[in-house]
Amino acid sequence: MTAVLETDHAQQASTGRMVALQNVELSFGDKRVLDGVSLDVHQQERLVVIGQSGAGKTTILRLILGILKPNAGSVFFKQNEVSRMNDHQLESVRSRIGMVYQDAALLSSMTVRENLALPLQELTNKTPAEIDRIVDEKLEMVELAGEDKTMPFELSGGMRKRVGLARALVMEPELVLFDEPTQGLDPVIGALIDELIINLTSRTKTTSIIVTHLMDSAFHVATRLAMLYRGQIVEQGTPDEFKRSTNPVVIQFLRGTTEGPMLNRSKYHMLSPAD
């Protein structure tokens, strides 16, 4: 059975909604991670999800990709209910979503060109000439033209991040997910990655969801932010609205202070820092 929203496609398109989480709950054993999370992501916006390390931010990306299934609630990509899809349906949806991993996740035995070409070779019927053209175009977009024969171990951290971004774009996705895209980079290279995210998502008219706990990056990139805390979205708004927030959790997180509610013990499980 195809999992779709109850509204028809025309109504869905009119809302401009790309992703929706509706009352999502997720636990690992007796460890509660998400507790009734509802979140809409609209077309062509850059939503930045912030929160403490281990709060479940990356878990949200995994739910959107269908890697994880919620214990309750629903996850939608456009009109498709990802949380109820079979493997074949998920393959179709994932071909429309690009993913930029925290560590770039490049195949170490392949050159930059081979890493970018692989999804096109496996998931499309494009000719070698067409694939070469697309790879060259994406490398130029991330300012890495001429690095196609380089091996991943020969690249700096910032260059690997850019290759990961280029690879995420080769399938012309409608949605791009970023997991800590500037983590581990110096401030200058981090700012370069932020600018690339802004420019490339605007140029390609893609929607993006960016997970980070680095607030300089978040405020630079975001058109809207959502904060995850103790399994729930506790605040949503524009960067300016976040800066004016009166929520004590938001204030503590933005200031980076030990004074506030965040260090109180809770029943919500803190995942590994990579999650």
The mean pLDDT value for 75-92 works out to 90
> Does residue 167 register a pLDDT over 60?
yes
Query: Model confidence over 199-227: pLDDT tens digits?
Result: 988 988 999 999 998 899 999 999 999 99
The predicted model scores a pTM of 0.85
> Does residue 172 register a pLDDT over 80?
yes
* pLDDT bracket for residue 185 (50, 70, 90): confident
> Does residue 6 register a pLDDT over 80?
no
pLDDT for 258 equals 84
Give me the DSSP letters along the chain. ---B-SS-HHHHHHHTEEEEEEEEEEEETTEEEEEEEEEEEETT-EEEEE-STTSSHHHHHHHHHTSS--SEEEEEETTEEGGG--HHHHHHHHTTEEEE-TT----TTS-HHHHHHHHHHHH----HHHHHHHHHHHHHHTT-TT-TT--GGGS-HHHHHHHHHHHHHTT--SEEEEESTTTT--HHHHHHHHHHHHHHHHHHT-EEEEE-S-HHHHHHH-SEEEEEETTEEEEEE-HHHHHT---HHHHHHHHT-S-SGGGS--SBPP--TT-
| Percent of the residues in the chain that have a pLDDT greater than 90, as a whole number | 62
Cβ–Cβ < 8 Å for 207, 175: yes
pLDDT for 15 equals 52
* pLDDT bracket for residue 127 (50, 70, 90): very high
> Does residue 11 register a pLDDT over 70?
no
